[in-house]
A and B are shown apart, each in its own frame.
Chain A
Amino acid sequence: MTAVAPAAAVAAPPVGRPLTILLRRAWRAVRTKVGVVLVVLVVALAVIGPFFAPHSPTEFAGIPYSHASSALPLGADNLGRDVLSRFLWGGRSVLGLALLATALGLAIGVSIGLVAAYSRSILDDVLMRAMDVILAFPSIVLALVAVATVGPKLWLLVLVVGFTTAPRVARVTRGASLEIVERDFVQAAEALGESRTRILFGEILPSITSPLMVEASLRLTYSIGLIAGLSFLGFGVQPPSADWGLMINENRQGLTIQPWGAVMPVIAIAVLTIGTSLIGDGLSRAAIGLERGGGER
């Protein structure tokens, strides 16, 4: 890994290598490490947390809005359920839905971006203008129109957040691929008679992993905010499920009496989004550095 010959990189774009270089460079920055630590903390809390919950997240455990005690370490929520238990249970839905939505948005966006960049025809214009139309709505408004029509369903949240993520991913993918589609190895693949799908996903996609990694971390940050925000508005995860966004909504009326029910999820979401955006920043700085300096220096 000490010296990467640029000639070799051009002749056959290695699948793993540019990504390894990017990750290694990004890891050197302190902010990336801090970001990884924060994200790992919250993910661990969401995944392992439920095993340590002292109560069921939906059972009545004390007087509504009662203060912290030895039985209820963070007090009770608006309906007298244990705040700690609900907090420990409430991360899975936020993380799971946001990851699904981001994955969907990446899949759609990358496909559209690649097809647009490779088409060299009117299709490129049509696809990108279609993306512009989706971008003409603030994402939350598009999500609300969908919820008003269909109702608050979790699959709808994933679908609509993925759908609003896709145009931005498509733009980045297309921008990065435009130059790649002109390269020799793509023409070589065409001459060999490889299928369009293989050229798009086997030849072009591996060459644009760096910008896509940066974009993916940005989109994840934004999906977490949007998903948790929709649950906060009451259109996402429905009661009596435990969910951080929903918890904030349920307990904000009692902030003056018993703040923990809203404050704990606020802190968790804040730590999570700051973590993912620090990682994203580390990656994007590394990617810019790679573009300017080239290779591993």
Chain B
Amino acid sequence: MSTAIRFVRRGISGFVLRRVLLGLLTLLLVSVIVFAATQALPSDPARAILGRTATPESLAALRKQLNLTGSIPGQYAHWLRGFVTGDFGNSLAARGEPVTQVLGKRLENSAFLVLIAGAVSIPLSILLGVLAARRRDGPFDHTSSVLMLALAALPEFVVGIALVVLFGTTVFHWLPAVSLIPPEDTPFQHLKALILPVATLVLAVSPYIARIMRASMVEVLESDFVEMARLKGMPERHVLWRHAVPNAVAPAIQVIALNLAYLAGGIVVVEFVFGYPGIGSALVDAVANRDLPVVQALAILIAGVYVALNLMADVATILVSPRLRTSLR
């Protein structure tokens, strides 16, 4: 595969271009998998919409409208063309509304949730990693390492329900246990309802980032230039935040992006736990109703975010690490 696209020129832009092409190829294969998986279904979408009492004529008409006639590769091509141009088909459950209309608002809500979770967890986990590395094998390091290990092991829905029990329903009654947001409102107007879902996502991803940040910091703190800065008499705080941290962040970028990508999948369960009206709970509903156009759209959308973030991680890693940058010249 790499030989096939080796004609692309070398250097950083060549690398980025090759990486983007590979990402697009992955997405194309993803779309084939999603399409093939949903083709294997025994049920007939036209009948699912119209119900058991539908006449053969109306079924045939709807099949034609839904593009269910013709060869399978032809259906795939038609579906993919619609997908690329922003036409995701019609939902089978929501009275045949276009998928884009069903999902538009929910997409915004989910993006908002993921962005806040990312904005909280990234600085927090970098800070935790740095603090743990600064006093390596000290009490803070040991406590945080065990705590992070335990948190990383817990499934998100377990963390979510535990938070609900602790702060929402049973032990304390500080926060709302569900995050229902009326369709006419933005999540911004219901910040209090966002605290628990955001906290769940933060607890789910922070351990990984903190761990890689700690490992990376430990290595940087042992390097010569940090020693040099200390010997120069530079204040320790300066050494830490101006010299060590920027160098330690580079290896962590990939893990950070991977975890943001993970958030794209993590919202599925977390939104369901809190009843948050995003694409995650939409996916669960669509699966329960076997609303395949919505499932297809969301699966590809989430995979797309996933592929894009992975791609950005690779590119960012190359850009921030001088050694890799020069090796590509």
A133 contact from B30, B149, B283, B295, Cβ within 8 A: B30
Question: A248 in the interface, Cβ–Cβ < 8 Å?
Answer: yes
A224: which B residues are within 8 A, CB to CB? 155
**Chain A residue nearest to B281 in the complex (CB):** A233
Stretch in A11-19, A77-85, A139-147, A199-207 touching the partner:
A139-147
Contact status B299-A248, CB under 8 Å: no
Interface size class of A (residues with CB under 8 A): 35 or more
Q: In the complex, what residues of A have CB within 8 A of residue B37's CB?
A: 145-146, 149
A229-B156 contact, Cβ under 8 Å, with A132-B26, A140-B269, A148-B295: yes
B249, CB-defined interface residue at 8 Å: no
Interface string of B1-37 (1 = CB under 8 A from A): 1100000000000000000000000110110011001
Known A150-B40, A259-B170: A248·B150 in contact at CB below 8 Å: no
Q: Which of A139, A144, A151 contacts B299 (CB 8 A)?
A: A144
When chains A and B are docked, how far (Å) is the Cα of A60 from the Cα of B5?
65
Q: Cβ of B162 < 8 Å from any Cβ of A?
A: yes
Q: Which B residues, 145 to 167, have Cβ-Cβ distances below 8 Å to chain A?
A: 146, 149-150, 152-158, 161-162, 164-165
By secondary structure, the B interface counts as helix
Contacts A149-B37, A150-B40, A228-B155 given; does A133 touch B29 at CB 8 Å: yes
Measured in the bound complex, the distance between the Cα atoms of B130 and A27 in whole Å is 29
CB distance from A247 to the nearest CB of B (A): 11
Closest chain B residue, CB of each to CB of A224:
B155
Whether A149 contacts B161 in the complex (CB less than 8 A), given A137-B302, A255-B170, A277-B150, comes out as no
Report the interface size for chain B: residues with CB under 8 A from the other chain: 56
Query: Closest Cβ of chain A: how far from B271's Cβ, in Å?
Result: 11
From A125, A226, A235, A259, name the one whose CB has the most chain B CB atoms within 10 angstroms: A259
Q: How far is the CB of B283 from chain A (nearest CB, A)?
A: 6
Chain B residue at minimum C-beta to C-beta distance from A232: B157
A130: min CB distance to chain B, Å: 8
Residues in chain A within 8 A of chain B (CB atoms)? 31, 125-126, 129, 132-133, 136-142, 144-151, 221, 224-226, 228-229, 232-235, 248, 252, 255-256, 259, 262-263, 266, 269-270, 273-274, 276-278, 281
Residues of B whose CB lies within 8 Å of any CB of A are 1-2, 26-27, 29-30, 33-34, 37-38, 40-41, 146, 149-150, 152-158, 161-162, 164-165, 168-170, 177, 261-262, 264-266, 268-269, 272-273, 283-284, 286-288, 290-292, 295-296, 298-299, 302-303, 306-307, 310
**Between-chain CB contacts (< 8 Å), 28 pairs:** A31-B146, A132-B26, A133-B29, A133-B30, A133-B33, A136-B306, A137-B265, A138-B262, A138-B266, A138-B303, A140-B268, A141-B299, A145-B38, A149-B37, A150-B41, A151-B290, A221-B153, A225-B155, A255-B164, A255-B168, A256-B170, A259-B169, A263-B165, A269-B155, A269-B158, A273-B154, A274-B150, A274-B153
